């Protein structure tokens, strides 16, 4: 894992992930989006890149990962090179009004917020454009080398990524259109923007990953730049050792072992069988993912963490694995 790799073409493509300006990390709920987004952000900042991470669905998981206290819309400094924020569509609207329409907006926006709630509920795309617009704005302002988005899960990400285009379709002329054109320029530029899908080698996450990659391709202008296969199980023992475990289940070995440990060894054998079965079934899902996904999309592997560490310690571990996978 830690030895130097030959730099293949695939490695070069993978390296490009952190060379981009805007990376959306998405995937099925619970597969490890926050784990990957915080790991990538930590790696980026440790490589000297000025980094912003944004948690789109603010549950406080990014703050917990960095052990840094809450991450408001107005941002929090995590390290000298890393800032973290959470999305808030009302605050995004307020900032938009202030920046673009030069409206002095003090405190809560009151009636505007009410009108916004109404419009956002009635017109699909409004909430999405405020989310994606803020992220593109951070890229446009160029205060950061990279913006990493702990994005919405599979069900919502396509709507967000496609929002500027959808609004462009609706409004053919006028100021709103000019307000979405520059977002599209950022999102549709493959050297600036990319999506990373996180999956696990299980049936449902693989299905969702294949489905989502297809939708990203057909419904958005954003490029899929990588798939992280998370929670990869290690091969704990070889075939020979597996046979040995099976042999030990039967007499005379079983009886002898029982005497030696002064107890029933069956649970240990069951655990060994389970480890083999889980790894094998995952291997077949992984095989399907690899064979059905576009060959140009690199797959990155993150091992299952057996130690129950959370917070910064696990962020650092993830960043180290990602660094290896990306060939740094
Ligand atoms: N490689 C891993 N090994 C072990 N546990 C993991 C791994 N990746 C994520 N987890 C755990 O799985 C849970 C969900 O991960 P999280 O990154 O919060 O997913 P998401 O953001 O997609 O909901 C968390 O408790 C996290 O610590
Ligand atoms: Mg999360």
**What is the rounded distance in angstroms from the CA atom of residue 183 to the CA atom of residue 70?**
28
Q: By percentage, how much of the chain surpasses pLDDT 70?
A: 85
Domain boundaries, the chain: 9-234+293-326
Residue 219 CA, ligand 1 centroid: distance in Å: 28
Spatial contact of 279 and 273, defined as CB atoms under 8 Å apart:
no
To test ligand 1's pocket by mutation, which of 32, 62, 233 has the most ligand atoms within 8 angstroms of CB? 32
| Ligand nearest, relative to CA of residue 38 | 1
- Give the closest residue (by CA) to ligand 1 atom 17: 32
| Ligand nearest, relative to CA of residue 303 | 1
pLDDT, one tens digit per residue, over 20-43 is 999 999 999 999 999 999 999 999
pLDDT at position 174: 64
pLDDT at position 65: 98
Which ligand 1 atom is nearest residue 61's CA? 18
- Give the closest residue (by CA) to ligand 1 atom 8: 32
| Ligand nearest, relative to CA of residue 234 | 1
Instruction: Assess whether the C-beta atom of 31 lies below 6 angstroms from ligand 1.
Output: yes
Rounded alpha-carbon distances, angstroms, from residue 256 to 240, 251, 262, 281: 21, 8, 10, 32
pLDDT at position 4: 40
Spatial contact of 4 and 11, defined as CB atoms under 8 Å apart:
no
pLDDT, one tens digit per residue, over 227-250 is 999 999 887 878 888 888 888 888
Residue 62 CA, ligand 2 centroid: distance in Å: 8
CATH of 9-234+293-326, one of 3.40.50.300, 3.30.420.340, 3.50.50.60, 1.10.10.10: 3.40.50.300
Which ligand 1 atom is nearest residue 37's CA? 17
Residue 196 CA, ligand 2 centroid: distance in Å: 14
Instruction: Assess whether the C-beta atom of 232 lies below 6 angstroms from ligand 1.
Output: no
Helix (H, G, I), strand (E, B) or coil at 298: coil
Alpha helices in the chain, H assignment, sequence order:
9-15, 33-46, 61-66, 89-100, 111-122, 126-141, 154-161, 163-170, 175-187, 203-219, 239-247, 253-261, 266-292, 311-326
pLDDT at position 176: 62
Instruction: Assess whether the C-beta atom of 61 lies below 6 angstroms from ligand 1.
Output: yes
Instruction: Assess whether the C-beta atom of 149 lies below 6 angstroms from ligand 1.
Output: no
pLDDT at position 224: 96
What's the whole-model pTM score? 0.88
| Ligand nearest, relative to CA of residue 302 | 1
Residues of the chain with pLDDT under 70: 1-15, 100-124, 171-178
To test ligand 1's pocket by mutation, which of 29, 35, 155, 304 has the most ligand atoms within 8 angstroms of CB? 35
pLDDT at position 159: 92
């Amino acid at each position: 894992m830690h030895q130097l790799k030959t730099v293949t073409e695939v490695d070069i493509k993978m390296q490009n992930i952190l060379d981009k300006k805007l990376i959306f990390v998405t995937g099925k709920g619970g597969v490890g989006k926050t784990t990957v987004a915080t790991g990538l952000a930590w790696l980026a900042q440790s490589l000297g890149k000025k980094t912003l991470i944004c948690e789109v669905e603010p549950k406080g998981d990014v703050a917990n990962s960095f052990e840094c206290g809450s991450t408001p819309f107005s941002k929090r400094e995590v390290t000298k090179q890393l800032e973290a924020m959470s999305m808030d569509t009302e605050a995004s609207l307020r900032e938009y009004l202030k920046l673009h329409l030069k409206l002095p907006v003090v405190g809560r926006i009151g009636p505007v917020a009410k009108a916004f709630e109404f419009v956002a509920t009635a017109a699909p795309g409004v909430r999405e454009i405020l989310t994606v617009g803020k992220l593109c704005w951070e890229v446009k302002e160029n205060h950061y080398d990279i913006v990493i988005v702990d994005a919405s899960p599979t069900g919502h990400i396509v709507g967000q990524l496609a929002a500027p285009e959808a609004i462009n379709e609706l409004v053919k002329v006028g100021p709103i259109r000019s307000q979405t054109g520059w977002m599209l320029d950022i999102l549709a530029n493959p050297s600036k923007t990319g999506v990373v899908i996180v999956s696990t080698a299980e049936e449902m996450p693989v299905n969702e990953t294949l489905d989502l990659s297809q939708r990203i391709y057909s419904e958005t202008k954003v490029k899929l730049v990588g798939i992280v296969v998370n929670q990869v199980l290690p091969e704990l023992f070889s075939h020979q050792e597996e046979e040995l475990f099976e042999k030990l289940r039967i007499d005379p070995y079983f009886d002898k072992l029982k005497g030696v440990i002064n107890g029933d060894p069956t649970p240990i054998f069951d655990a060994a069988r389970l480890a083999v079965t889980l790894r094998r079934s995952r291997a077949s899902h992984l095989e399907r993912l690899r064979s059905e996904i576009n060959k140009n999309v690199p797959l990155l592997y993150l091992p299952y963490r057996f130690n129950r560490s959370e917070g910064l310690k696990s962020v650092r571990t993830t960043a180290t694995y990602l660094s290896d996978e990306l060939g740094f």
